[in-house]
Amino acid sequence: MASRSNTPGGNDQDQDDYGEEWARDLRVQFEQMLRSKRLHDFEQLRSQRSRVQSPSLRERASSSNLHAPSTPSSRPSTSYGQGQVSSPTPPSYSSLRHLPLMPTPPAPNDQQSHKFRNLLLSLAQTPTKYENPGLLDEALQTIPLDRIYSEAEEETQVLQAQAASMGDGRKPEWGYQDCVIKALLRWFKRSFFTWVNNPPCPACLSPTVGKGMTQPTPEESACGALRVELYECSNPACRAYERFPRYSDVWRLLQTRRGRCGEWANCFSMLCRAVGVRVRWVWNAEDHVWTEIYSEHKQKWIHVDACEEAWDNPRLYTDGWGKQMSYCIAFSIDGATDVTRRYVRKSEHARERNKCPEEVMLHIMQEIKNLRRSNLSKNERFILEKEDSREDRELRGYVVASITQAVTRMVPGASSSSSSTQRRPGQGSGNTHGNDDQKLPAEQPGRQTGNAEWVAARGENGRRNQPHDPNARREDRP
């Protein structure tokens, strides 16, 4: 160590000494130490229980391989367990349940976990389609770029003027790139894409009635239609049939320009990629999808839902629609991330996560990241890992904020005083604006797209199912 140089060459040597191999060895040592500590704690607990259990309970524990070893020498040799005597009281449950989970591959006989893993690996292919140069060129020809950039420039100037008027040196709320996506979102929702409930009759334009599903034609299958909905004209004099293929091919969606949330999110995510923005396609296990874009201005991922023209409103689904969710997985060209904590802030909105154990879920996310980043340079991987760490702090901050809010609500008179001082997760990174964690979809009386029967069947009609509060402000969108 004393012979190390402070010259640039010495810095290169430092980087070599503390490279990937050093980090991997350190991680392996930490995992081994953590396993040893866990084993020691559980051995202490088993030893204590063996002294107080009745013979019948002890026999049952022995049949399940839970009985404590009879001699201290049979205990595995670890840095924590050598020569130590069991403590008179077992460790508390809280000291064990807060140990960090280690990514663990699914067990060979765990069919459910393997099925879920295969599903996520398949879904992870979706954003890779957005990297096709020919597709992106065609998308750029579809977008009215002059209009989009003009609106973005105008909004950017307004935001800059608002920030300057505060006189405290703060940054504008959003950057130019963000304003481009907001302008693209408005155009996509209001002028480009069409929502489909029941498609009109192709012959007389009368309403149609659903008749179930039918097999896709070879042409429809070639464009990614795995299923086709069949509709019959309600006009007795017509009775024509209309097919509604659920296309997943983004190029085909540029031609049809219609669909439901799957088609909307798929096409809009690709258009965001076409204008040069990093994009995520977010899948929800309760049958909804949306988009996230990376804001270089805020150095974080931003929620965008093209169906609802929603921007940076992640609590829309739970607090607005009244939706309960279990898994929200964001897929990008750089990997996959479990972002459920961004969208589910309260326990009453959380569904049971029973597709696989949590440690297996961590393994699947890491597996997809490794797959997507295998061809990246060392520096590119390092940048993405720093970004992952920053996002993980943000997501953990949402959990802390939720617990804090629940506790302060239990203290009389504390909620009003604490709300003004509560920090937004990730606010320490330099963001001086309001607390987005407090942002509620107060003007969203449930889902806006889809007919009432379809929305109600999905449980997404939000406050329509809740008792009317005369003090609550409600403004329906035109």
Enzyme catalytic residues: 261, 288, 305
Residue environment code for 347-367, b if the CB has 16+ CB neighbours within 10 A, otherwise e: eebeeeeebbbeebbbbbbeb
CB 368 within 8 A of CB 384: no
Chain center to CA of 267: 19
Burial class (CB within 10 angstroms; exposed 0-12, middle 13-18, buried 19+) of 304: buried
CB 301 within 8 A of CB 294: yes
Residue type (1 letter), 316:
L
CB 174 within 8 A of CB 436: no
CB 209 within 8 A of CB 234: yes
Whole-Å CA distances, 469 to 139, 349, 465, 474: 45, 20, 12, 10
Q: Which of 49, 34, 54 is CA-nearest to residue 86?
A: 49
Dist. CA 14–CA 468, nearest whole Å: 65
Looking up tokens 């088609």 gives 263
Looking up tokens 């489909």 gives 196
Question: If residue 233 lies in a helix (H) or strand (E), which one and from where to where?
Answer: strand 228-233
Whole-Å CA distances, 161 to 151, 154, 158, 173, 319: 16, 11, 5, 11, 32
